[in-house]
Amino acid sequence: MTALFDLTTPVVPAPALAPAAGTTRPTFTIALPTGVKLLNSNQRLHHAPKGKLTHALRAAAMEAVGENPALMEALAAAKPGPLFERAHILGIYRPRSVGRCDPANWYPSFKAAVDGIVDAGLLDDDDHTRLVGPDMRLGRKIKGGQLVLVIRGLAVGEQWPDLGQVPQ
C-alpha cells in the first residue's frame, strides 16, 4: 500500500495556494489515539452500539483538542467565538495493516471526530457554510490504526484549494 499522506514529511504549499502576504491561515493537526474503535460505512450495527462508538469517537476528538497546547492557546485567544469562522479539514485514515483500503468507508468515524472538534469550539457548526471537507485520504500504516484531522483556516467564501469566491 502506498501512503499518500505522510505526516512526517513537511508540507510546503504551492505558491498559488500560499496565503497572501501579511495574512496567515492557521493549520492544526489533531491525532486521535491509536487503537480507538472506528465506525465503517460497511458495518451494519444496531443503533445502540453505533451510538456508543460515535460518542466515544466524538469524545476522543474533543480530548485530542484539549491535549494540543498550541490549539488550546489559539482557542483561548479566539474566545468568546469559535477559532475558525470557516475551515477545510483533511481527514487521514492511518490503517492498522497493509492492504487495499477505501478511506471513504471510514466517513462515519470522520464525521464523529468533526462533531467532537465542533464540541471543542473550533467551529460553530460543521455545515457547508463553515466547513469544506472532511476530505478523506489514506495515510501510512500505524499499529492499532488512527484518524488524523488536519484543520486549515479559510477566509469566508474560500474553497480548498483556493478556487476563489463561492457563487451565491
**Residue 88, class by beta-carbon neighbours within 10 Å (0-12 exposed, 13-18 middle, 19+ buried)?**
buried
36 is written with which cell numbers? 480507538
Residue 5 lies in a domain: no
The CATH number assigned to the domain holding 102 equals: 3.30.1330
35, part of any domain: yes
pLDDT category, 24, cuts 50, 70, 90? low
pLDDT at 154 over 80: yes
Mean of the pLDDT values across residues 133-156?
91
Q: Could you read off the pLDDT of 88-121 as tens digits, one per residue?
A: 999 999 999 888 888 888 899 999 999 999 999 9
Q: Residue 90 domain-assigned?
A: yes
**pLDDT, position 162:** 56
Task: Find the helix or strand (DSSP H, E) in which 133 lies.
Answer: strand 131-138
Residues 12-35 have a mean pLDDT of 66
- Number of structural domains in the chain: 1
State the pLDDT at residue 90.
92
168 is a domain residue:
no
Q: Identify whether 166 is part of a domain.
A: no
Q: Is the pLDDT of residue 147 over 90?
A: yes
Say if 52 falls within a structural domain: yes
Pairwise CA distance, residues 150 & 137, whole Å = 11
Q: pLDDT tens digit string along 65-88?
A: 999 999 999 999 998 999 999 999
pLDDT at residue 161, as a whole number = 62
pLDDT of residue 10: 46
Mean pLDDT in residue range 117-143: 92
47 falls in which pLDDT band (50, 70, 90)?
confident
Answer yes or no: is 160 within a domain: no
- Cα separation, 157 vs 168, in Å, equals 9
Instruction: Find the range with the poorest average confidence among 17-21, 28-32, 114-118.
Output: 17-21
Question: Is 30 part of a structural domain of the chain?
Answer: yes
Q: Which domain holds residue 81?
A: 25-153
